Structure formats: C-alpha cells, structure tokens
Amino acid sequence: MSAQAVIAANRFGLGARPGEIVAIGGDAHGWLRAQLVPERVLPAPFAALPSTGDDLAEFQKWLADLAASGRAPQTAMEAGVSDATPARATGVESEFRRRFAPRYAAALKARFGVAINTTRPFFERLVHFWSNHFVVSGTKPSAVALPPSFERDAIRPHVAGRFVDMLLASSKHPAMLVYLDNVNSVGPASQVGRNPDLRRAFAAQAFIPARGTGLNENLAREILELHTLGVRSGYTQADVTNFARVLTGWTVARPPRVRGAQLAVRRQSAIGLFDFDPDAHEPGAHVVLGRAYAQQNEAQGEAVLRDLVRLPVTAEFIARKLARHFIADDPPREAVARLAQVFLDTDGDLAQVGMALIDLPQAWAHSQRKFKTPEEYLVSSLRALPGLELDGTQLASAVTALGQPPYRAPGPNGWPDVESEWLGPDAVWKRFQWANETARRAAASVPDPEWLALDVLGASLGGETRSAIQRADSAVQGLTLLLASAEFQRR
Amino acid sequence: MSSRRSVLGLIAGGAAGMWCGLPGLAFAAVPSERRLVVVLLRGGMDGLSAVPAIGDPDFRSARMGLAPDPASVKPLDGMFALHPRLAALAAMYARGELAVLHAVATPYRDRSHFDGQNLLESGAEAPYVRDSGWLNRALAGLSGAGGRSGGIALNTGMPLILRGSASVTSWSPATLPGPDQDTEQRLAQLYARTDPRLADAFSRAAMANGVAARPGPGGRAFSGLMEAAARFLKQADGPRIAVVESGGWDTHVNQAAEAGPLANNLASLDRGIDALRQDLGVLWDRTVVLAVSEFGRTVAQNGTRGTDHGTGGAMFVAGGAVRGGRVIADWPGLKAGQRHEGRDLMPTTDFRSVALGILREHLGLAEQQFANVFPAARPVRPFEGLVHDRSG
C-alpha cells in the first residue's frame, strides 16, 4: 500500500473507504487527475432534489399561508431569524422549522449519500470547497431551502471548468440574488427608483418581502471581498457602491407587475429564474476599479465580473485558499505562487489549477497538517463504515451537534478552514461522543477495528494508536479509539 | 482623557457625577472575587437603534424611517434613550448598574465583518497580525491566573479573543449521550502520546464537563448561555472571565420591524444580561459585563430599510461593579459633515481604552501589561472611573 495512495484518499479525497487505498495502488497522481473532468451525469440524489424555482415557490407559499391565517408574513418571517432554540421558539418559528426541515433532511441525505459513496472523492471535495467559497446560507429565512440547488446548478458544473463561469453562474443564480439582497436593490435613477408608484408596485411584487426599495450593496461587496479580489485588496467604498449600481436589475423573474401597460410583461414561463429587470437598473456608465463600464443591461455586470477574474489579486486570493485547504493552514508561499501563476496563465481554468495542485510536492508531505472540519470528519467516518446508514434526520442532528450543518454556514464568508477554529475543547469532546455513538451502532459490522484502521489509514496509522486499538476491551471501544484518533481527525 | 469630552446624561440612582479626573484607585491585589463577562455581538450592532440619540436635533431627519416612536423608547436623559426592548437594561441604568458608551469604535475603519471582528478580538491595529486575543493576553498578565482556567468561552469553538497562552476552556450544552469513563481515559492517554493539541483540548473538555453537569434551559439561546456562564463564574475555583457570543446583528433589511431580527436580538441580549444578574446573585456586585460589536452601522437607512456596515456604535458596560447610570459620549453629531466619511457615526471613543480601563480598575491589570494587551503605535490610555472602587 503506497503512502501516496493514503494521502490521495484522505487529504485530496474524502477519506478512504475500505479497499480504496489498495485500489488506488501505485498511481495516486493518475487517480486524482482522472477526477478533474466535468461529470457527464449528475448523481441521481442531486437530480432528485427540487429546483430553485420550486424552493422559492415553497417559501412564497409559506408567506401566503401566513397571510391567509391572519399573520403578517413580514413580521413572521423576521421572527424566524432570532436565536431562539426550538424549546423557546415562537409558534411561527417552529412552524417554519417544521415546514422546511424535510427539504433540509433530503438535501443532507443527498449530499452525504454522494460524498460517502462516490468513487470520485477528489471531485466531490472540490464541490464542497467551492460551495464554501460562493456561499448561500440557509440561515437566512428567505434562503432557507436554496443552497442545495445553488450548489448543484451553479457550482457543480464548473469545478473542473472555468472559474469565470462559476462566478457568473453564482452571481446570477436566484439563490445568491436572494441571499445577498440583490433582488430588492433598485437604482435610485432607474425607472422604478424615480417613480413612487412603481416603487410601491415593485415592493408589492417583490419575491422577498421588502418595505424599502433602494440601492443595496451587499452582493457587490461580497463579490469583491469574498468571491474574487479578497478583502483589503485595494478596492474602495466607491467601487462597492458603483458595482452595486451595475448589479441593479439582477433579480429573479417574478409574476408581472399589476399596473399600467407601459412596461412589458416579461417571460411568464421563466418565473424563479434569473431575470434582468431594466426598470430597476441604474442607467449610465459606472466606474469600477478605475474602469468605466458603459454596456447596456446585464452585459455591464458580466463585463465587470470577467475583468475581476483577470486580476492578479484574484488569482492570489483563490490560490491561497486552495493551498490552505490542501496543504496547511498557513500554506507555503511557493505553493501559493505556483497556483496563482497557473490560474493567471490559464485564465482561471480550474482543471489546470487542479493539475498544478496535484503536482505540488508540498501537497504530499507525510505529516497530517490539516485538522478535519466537522463535516469532513463525519463524511470520512461514514466512508470508513459503509455498513452504517443514517437517515436525513440523524444526519441533521449529527452535523448540528458537531457544529457544522452543511448549507447553513454562519455567513457569506463560509465555514473557516483552519484548525484554530475547530480544535477547541468542546468540539473535541463532541467528536469523541460522536465516535462512541457511531462505534456502538457500527461495531456489529466491524469485527476487527485494527484491520479497519489499517485499511483506511494505511501507512499513516501510528504505532501508539494501533496498539491502543489492539488492546481495546471491545470492538466498540476499539472503533471509538480509531474514529477519535489523531490520525483519523487529521488529513 | 481629553478634556473636551462632555458627559451627557449624568446621574441616575446616585452614581457620582464625575467620571474623569478621578484620583487614581488602588489596585494592590488581584481581586479574585471579581468577574468579567465579555459579550461579542457579531454582525455589527446598530448603535443608533439600540441607543437612539433622540435629543440630537438632526436625529429624526438623519434616521428617516428608522427613528423610533418617541413614546416607545426608554429615555435615559435628555439626549439618549434605550430601545423599547431593553427593559432590563433600563432598570439597571436606573439602579446605577449600567453605563452606556456611544460613538465608540475599535481602530478598524473599513467595513468587513471578518476583519472587524478580528481586530475587536485580537486587540491589534490591523487584522490578522496577532493570533492571540487581548482578553487572553490580559489573563496571562494577571497574577494568580496560572494553574487553572482563567477564562471560559460558552461555545463549541474557541473565539480568537480568548486564544493565547493563558489557560482557557470552552463549553456548550451537550446534545449527545456520553461515552464510558474507561474509553475516555484510554483516549486521553493516547492523545497524550500522539497529539499534544488534541490532548490539551480533551483534558479541558473533561474538566469543564465536571462543572457543568446541570444543563441550563434554553440550550444555545443567548440567555441559556449566560445562565451557564453564571454557573461557571460562581464556582470557587472556576473561571473569572467568560466570553459569550451573540450573532445576527447584520441588519441590512427592515431593521425597524417590531418583531424583526434587531428587536429580537436586543430583547435576547436584554434577557441574557438580566439572567446573568439573577443567577450570579451577590456576585453581581463584583461583576462587569461588557457588550460590544465589531462596528456600528450607517447613520442613514439604506434602500431596503436597513443599515449598511458603518463605524462608530454603542457599547454597554453593565454590572453591580459599574459606576453606571450615565451615558458617556463625546457626541460627534449626526449632520453629514459630522459623520465618518459622510455616512457613519464618527467614532470619538476608542473601544480599547474602555476595555483597558475595566481590566485595570476591575481586575487590577498592571500598567506594564497595557502595551502587551493592546499593542498600538500610540499607547492606549485606560478610561478612568468606570468601576466602583470596592475592596476585594
């Protein structure tokens, strides 16, 4: 069993399944390279999830049901975001949870099912990486059901494609437009902005209830700060504001406005998809990062996005994040420089950047420098124990207990990717509890934990851990020690 | 402190009228019965909603739709009031147990949450230059803090503010059943031989679990965490400092809504601080709670009836040990020309000086530690007279 196969399976992949390291054999690089191609068929569990339009419609229905029962949808929706736990939840909050919990459980089941069973775990890790870069979080009530279809439709097709396509797909995706408030952003000098009647009509027809209609800079700021250039990379407040003006009109197609005939009724069939609303778009040319953009309609925003991708700071920002994810929390400078160069040279071809990553010697160091995030830890545990099946509700309680519920990142910056954020006393204790609980459930199907340890950790299994597992007083205890061991918590 | 400061809203509940120029207080020994709770309000609390400057002639025009109904707020003095949902804090103010600071900011002047929180917690002047927190460095600088956990974070992870060389721990309510003790001991031994960081975290967790056997009601809800903090702080050999976090303050949309996230968050903060007060009992008299956010928000409302990321904000200093009943603000005014970059409340008080003042007067942090706790190009001077001089 080669040491490189162990690293390929556990650091680049999602944790070895029994037999996987042997199957990788002597060609770890080749096994990884073969995964850097777009997938031809969407995995069935993802294909079965609802469309974004359906998720949006369900939220609309929720608002309508509230209104029908005599409660102001707006107030109720806002109530849904307080920090109250189910025990103290108001009636509306627990209704909200009950209404959307099945969708969340189904999405979790799909995400974990694919991650646990895939034979392309490097590709799948890249999907998780990028959907933690372009973040839509279901912690915002109006976005509660949207992250899974966003990941499937905007991220997944592009992880072995071009960065610019992912950026465009993300920025135009209804989920992102809702999550970062762009659906309600209106240019002050736009038709809607200048006409109080239109503003009222706009607000009344808004996909997400909003009493106000004006410029909202949230999406513009986060694209610059989190998706492309990175924070403190030279852009100014004026760049943010101007970019926000460029992005006005980027919205989600909705039913036609109830008002006079002066504005055309737009594509009824496209409700729930991206729509450019010229009535809300701030007219004129806008200067972003020193360059004037005079294009019409959404071509203006697309031109800005394309230019952002070509900036060296963007290449550097993406390269550092990738190197941090695959090499170390504080990644070696040469590794970052190399990835940034390939990103620039290939105009953000992510397959080429991935190849360069595989070729970095620093990525193959034997020491396990990355501490798994809770989700990585759960996925790798379940990959090691294929006999164990958890349903969506069990998964939801496990990810919540361990502190990283997928699709519910704390904010638009996503989950942290450094050890100091995850290796705290309480977190380590919760993993121990999870390991023990899982071992109790799985021990029956794992007659010899030592054998499993060798199978999934290979050469990275240390003598101390191996002998502790050997000396365990039960299969449950042995398996608990394996899952809680340092070798299994790191990659 | 600069003499041009004015003190607005002096006196309630018999608190002394002077806050500056007080004679130096004596801090011979570390007062081991004293407690400090730092509440991090993540997301950027809108200080002008929490503590509206109703007496400022420009307030209503500057705030537009965000200005509260004057009948609903809880007036503190002619100038400032508290948000209607801050009833318990208003009562504390009346008893002289709450000082409100306004137009406060860290040295951070950009508008990223993540950088702003990094600065608020690291105590540095630029983001990501320190990987330890100011509160941990303060703990390390207090004599007698070694040998046990001086601080606790009520959280699964360890927030930056408490990271560093001083001994600290973290705890949050358990949701999974517990493994047996033998397995626990074997794992502890295995970590000791293979992974010092896991070993350290694991032993701290084991200790914390011993203390917190009684899970509080409310789970992760803020007041539940404050109740848990009270339980830890009451332990004779327990931590003296607790950090509790509250999220969701980033109110870009519809923030004036009566049952909206801001109102709920303020109510939750109010309930939590009051729960801490009740649970601490007599220890409340020796406690300071400092509630602070990474930045304030824009003075004017944005296009979606919320506010965007800003600069100056409000901060609460509560507790029986606080010389309260007053609003402390060198008020910059709200006219466009008086704002930071024309949009944000101009910061006139440095958050670090307030924190340093509390560390010095309340916990007895020695002057030679100041620069280590808040490293700065120009030394930070501690705010004076925030805490009662009580022996022990």
pLDDT tens-digit series, residues B248-267: 788 888 888 887 778 988 99
A323 pLDDT more than 80: yes
Give me the percent of chain A exceeding a pLDDT of 70: 91
Residue A405 sits in the same domain as residue A419 = yes
pLDDT tens digits, residue range B163-214? 998 888 888 766 544 577 778 889 999 999 999 999 999 998 888 876 554 3
CA separation for the pair A27, A192 (Å, rounded): 60
> What is the rounded average pLDDT of the residues B138-165?
79
Instruction: Round to whole Å and give the CA distance between B179 and B354.
Output: 44
Q: Looking at the complex, does the CB of residue B213 fall below 8 Å from at least one CB of chain A?
A: no
Residue at a domain's end among A158, A178, A198: A178
CB neighbourhood size of A58 (10 A): 15
Q: Do B155 and A216 touch (CB under 8 A)?
A: no
Do A279 and A404 fall within a single domain?
no
Query: Residue A291's beta-bridge partner residues?
Result: A288
Pairing state between β A291-293 and B151-153: unpaired
- Pick from A294, A329, A346: which residue ends a domain? A294
A107: number of Cβ within 10 Å? 27
pLDDT > 80? residue A262 = no
> pLDDT at position A40, please?
92
Asked if A96 and A80 touch (Cβ cutoff 8 Å), the reply is yes
- C-beta neighbour count of A333 within 10 angstroms: 10
Q: At what angle do helices A392-402 and A91-117 cross, to 10 degrees?
A: 100
**Are A72 and A195 in a shared domain?**
no
Residues A171 and A198 in one domain: no
What are the residues whose beta carbons fall under 8 Å from the beta carbon of B46, sequence distance 6 or more? B249, B251, B255, B262, B296, B297, B307, B313
Between residues A260 and A50, which one has the greater pLDDT? A50
Same domain, A290 and A189: yes
Residue B47 resides in a domain: yes
Q: How far apart are CA B343 and CA B309, in angstroms?
A: 10
Contact A231 B115 (CB under 8 A): yes
CB contacts, 8 Å: A484 with chain B: 187
Closest alpha carbon within chain B to A420: B158
- Residue B40 contacts residue B265 (beta carbons within 8 Å): no
Residue B200 lies in a domain: no
Q: Is the pLDDT of residue A472 over 70?
A: yes
For residue B14, what is the enclosing H or E element? Answer: none
Inside any domain, residue B24: no
Chain B neighbors of A437, CB-CB under 8 A:
176-177, 179
Q: Which of A73-77, A256-260, B250-254 is most confident?
A: B250-254
More confident residue, A432 or B23: A432
Tell which wins on pLDDT, B128 or B16: B128
Which helix or strand (DSSP H or E) is residue A242 part of?
helix A237-247
Q: Is residue B293 part of a domain?
A: yes
Q: Is B199 among the domain residues?
A: no
- Gap between the Cα atoms of A153 and A138, Å rounded: 16
- Beta-carbon separation of B176 and A434 below 8 A: yes
Contact B85, B275 (CB under 8 A): no
Strand, coil or helix: B302? coil
Which residue in chain B is spatially nearest to A84 when comparing CA positions?
B221
User: Do A397 and A447 share a structural domain?
Assistant: yes
Q: Is residue B187 part of a domain?
A: no
Does the beta-carbon distance from B170 to A218 stay under 8 Å?
no
Least confident piece of the model among A95-109, B79-93, B331-345: A95-109
Is A85 in the same domain as A152? yes
pLDDT score of B4 more than 60? no
The number of distinct structural domains making up chain B is 1
Considering the domain architecture, whether residues A126 and A194 belong to the same structural domain is answered as no
C-alpha distances out from residue A263 to A214, A270, A278, B70, B267, Å:
20, 17, 10, 42, 44
Residue B340 located in a structural domain: yes
Domain end marker among A123, A158, A178: A178
Distance CA A81, CA A77 (A): 7
Domain range holding A397?
A: 374-489
The total number of structural domains in chain A stands at: 3
* pLDDT attached to residue B390: 59
Please answer yes or no on whether A231 and B114 come within 8 Å at the CB atom.
yes
Contact (CB, 8 A) for B321 and B362: yes
CA distance A31 to chain B (A): 31
| Alpha-carbon gap: A372 to the closest alpha carbon of chain B (Å) | 12
In-domain check, residue A410: yes
Write down the pTM of the prediction.
0.74
User: CA of A143 to nearest chain B CA: how many angstroms apart?
Assistant: 14
Q: Which of A191, A275, A288 is nearest to A246 (CA)?
A: A288
Lowest pLDDT segment from A264-268, A391-395, B371-375: A264-268
Instruction: Let me know how long chain B is.
Output: 392
Q: Name the more confident of B221 and A306.
A: A306
Contact B206/A at CB under 8 A = yes
> What whole-number distance in Å separates Cα of residue B168 and Cα of residue B205?
10
Identify the DSSP state of B139.
Answer: H
- Predicted confidence band of residue A121 (pLDDT cuts 50, 70, 90): very high
B203 in a structural domain:
no
Beta strands in A273-420 (DSSP E): 274-276, 286-288, 291-293
Which among A176, A132, A144, A152 is positioned nearest to A274, based on CA atoms?
A: A176
B349-350 and B98-105 beta bridge pairing: parallel
Q: Which residue segment(s) compose the domain that B222 sits in?
A: 7-14+35-173+215-373
**B196 reaches A (C-beta below 8 A):** no
Distance CA B146, CA B156 (A): 23
**Per-residue confidence at A64, pLDDT binned at 50, 70, 90?**
confident
Neighbours of A319 (CB within 10 A): 24
Angle at A312 between CA A311 and CA A315, to 5 degrees: 100
In angstroms, the CA B40 to CA B294 distance is 8
Contacts of A421 in chain B (CB under 8 A): 157
Cβ of A471: how many Cβ atoms within 10 Å? Answer: 12
Query: Per the CB < 8 Å rule, is A433 touching B179?
Result: yes
More confident residue, A231 or A75: A231
Residues A156 and A223 in one domain: no
What is the rounded CA–CA span in Å between residue A154 and residue A7?
29
Q: Does B257 touch chain A (CB under 8 A)?
A: yes
Assess whether A155 and A254 both reside in one domain. no
Would the pLDDT of A254 be above 80? no
The CA-based dihedral angle spanning residues A324, A327, A328, A329, taken in that order and rounded to the nearest 10 degrees: 10
- Partner residue facing B186 (CB), from A212, A214, A481: A481
**Are A161 and A193 in the same domain?**
no
Answer whether B255's CB lies under 8 Å from B306's CB. Answer: yes
CATH of the domain at B111: 3.40.720
The nearest alpha carbon in chain A to B177 belongs to A433
Residues A167 and A238 in one domain: no
